C-alpha cells in the first residue's frame, strides 16, 4: 500500500464523524518520549499522526510549537532521529511528516523523499512550499507514493483554491484562520470548509487553532473530514511530568467529541 492509499484508508475507516490527526513535535521533549506520545495518541483514538521535524526558523508556527522545536534542537534532535520515530509509529497509523523546505533541501529533494518513504511515512506537509514552488517536490513524492499535502488558507481565492485542490494528495490541509498555529476561540469553520470541500476530491482536514472537543465537533459539523490538533497537545507535552499520558488524555477527549 502506498502512503497515499494508507491515508485514504485511514480517512475512510475512521470510526468518528471526522478523522482525528494529532500533531506532535518529533524529538520533543526527546526522541523516545515523542515516540511514546505518538503511541499514546494512537491508543487514545488518533486515526493519523502529523509528526513535526524541528526547524530553527518555523515561520508558520506560533510560540508553543516554535518553542518545542527549539527545545528539540537544543536536545540534539536530528532529522534522522525524527525519521526513526516515524518508522516506529508508521505500522500503527499513517504518519504525515511536517517540516520546512530548508530541511528537505539540505538532504536533497529526492533523497529526503526516498528516506521518508523508506521510513514508512505516508505523507509530507511543507508549509513554506506553495503551489508555485512545489514542482520538483511533488514529482519526487508522486514517484515514491508519498502524499504531498498542500495547505489552503482563508485568504486563498477560489480559483487558486481549485488549482491547489486539484493537485492535493492524501488530503487538503485547510487552515481555519488567517495566521500561524496556536489555540484560538470563536472561529467560524463552515465557510472555509465549504470552500475547500468544493475545490477538491480528497478529504478536507481542518487545522490551526483547534484545541478542544467542542471545537473538534464543530469542525466535523462544518463538514471537515479530518481535524488536526497541534499546539494544545504540544503545550500539554511541555507542561506535564508524564507527557505521553497527558497528551493521550486530551486526545481521548477530542476523540470522544468526534463520536456520535
Question: Rounded to the nearest whole angstrom, what is the least distance from the CB of residue 190 to another protein in the complex?
Answer: 19
Q: Which of 1, 43, 56, 136 binds another protein (CB under 8 A)?
A: 56
Nearer to another protein, 160 or 162 (CB): 160
Query: Is position 15 annotated as part of the catalytic site?
Result: no
Which positions from 171 to 210 touch another protein by CB under 8 A, shown as an x/- string? ----x--xxx------------------------------
Give, in degrees to the nearest 5, the angle at Cα 166 between 184 and 87: 65
- Among 154, 183, 253, 256, indicate the residue that binds another protein (CB under 8 A): 154
Record the cell numbers describing residue 77, joined without a space. 534532535
Q: Does residue 242 have an active-site annotation?
A: no
Q: Chain centroid to CA 105: how far?
A: 20
Q: Interface with another protein includes 155 (CB under 8 A)?
A: yes
Rounded to whole angstroms, how far apart are CA atoms 230 and 212? 11
Q: Is 221 in the site for another protein (CB under 8 A)?
A: no
Rule CB under 8 A: choose which of 29, 127, 170, 243 binds another protein: 127
Distance of alpha carbon 170 from alpha carbon 5, whole angstroms: 8
| Interface segment toward another protein; rule CB under 8 A; list 14-22, 58-66, 87-95, 241-249 | 58-66
Characterize 116-131 residue by residue with b for buried, 16 or more Cβ atoms within 10 angstroms of its Cβ, and e for exposed: bbebbbbbbbbbbbeb
Least distance to another protein from the beta carbon of 166, Å?
15
Give the count of residues interacting with another protein (CB under 8 A): 40
Helix (H) or strand (E) run with residue 96 in it: strand 95-98
Instruction: With CA atoms as reference, report the closest residue to 228 among 236, 239, 216.
Output: 216
CA 65/CA 110 separation, integer angstroms: 27
Report whether 183 contacts 231 (CB < 8 A).
Answer: yes
By CB under 8 A, is residue 157 in contact with another protein?
yes
Q: How many helices (H) and strands (E) does the chain have?
A: 12, 9
Question: Of 3 and 62, which has the nearer Cβ to another protein?
Answer: 62
Residue among 36 and 129 whose Cβ is closer to another protein = 129
What amino acid positions are annotated as catalytic residues?
50, 61
Chain residues that interact with another protein, rule: CB under 8 A: 55-57, 59-60, 62, 66, 70, 73, 78-79, 100-107, 127-133, 150-157, 160, 164, 175, 178-180
Amino acid at each position: 500500500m502506498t502512503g497515499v492509499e494508507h491515508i485514504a484508508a485511514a480517512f475512510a475507516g475512521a470510526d468518528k464523524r471526522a478523522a482525528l490527526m494529532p500533531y506532535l513535535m518529533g524529538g520533543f521533549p526527546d526522541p523516545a518520549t515523542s515516540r511514546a506520545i505518538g503511541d499514546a495518541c494512537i491508543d487514545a483514538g488518533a486515526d493519523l499522526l502529523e509528526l513535526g521535524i524541528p526547524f530553527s526558523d518555523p515561520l508558520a508556527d506560533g510560540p508553543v510549537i516554535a518553542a518545542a522545536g527549539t527545545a528539540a534542537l537544543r536536545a540534539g534532535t536530528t532529522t534522522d532521529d525524527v525519521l526513526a520515530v516515524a518508522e516506529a509509529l508508521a505500522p500503527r497509523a499513517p504518519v504525515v511528516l511536517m517540516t520546512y523546505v530548508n530541511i528537505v533541501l539540505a538532504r536533497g529533494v529526492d533523497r529526503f523523499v526516498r528516506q521518508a518513504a523508506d521510513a514508512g511515512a505516508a505523507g509530507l506537509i511543507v508549509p513554506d512550499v506553495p503551489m508555485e514552488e512545489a514542482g520538483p517536490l511533488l514529482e519526487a513524492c508522486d514517484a515514491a507514493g508519498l502524499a504531498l499535502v498542500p495547505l489552503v488558507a482563508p485568504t486563498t481565492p477560489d480559483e487558486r483554491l481549485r488549482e491547489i485542490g486539484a493537485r492535493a494528495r492524501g488530503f487538503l490541509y485547510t487552515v481555519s484562520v488567517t495566521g500561524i498555529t496556536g489555540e484560538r476561540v470563536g472561529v467560524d469553520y463552515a465557510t472555509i470548509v465549504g470552500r475547500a470541500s468544493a475545490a477538491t476530491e480528497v478529504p478536507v482536514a481542518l487545522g490551526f487553532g483547534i484545541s478542544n472537543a467542542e471545537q473538534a465537533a464543530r469542525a466535523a459539523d462544518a463538514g471537515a473530514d479530518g481535524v488536526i490538533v497541534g499546539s494544545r497537545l504540544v503545550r500539554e507535552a511541555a507542561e506535564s511530568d508524564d507527557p505521553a499520558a497527558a497528551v493521550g488524555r486530551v486526545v481521548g477527549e477530542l476523540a470522544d467529541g468526534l463520536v456520535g
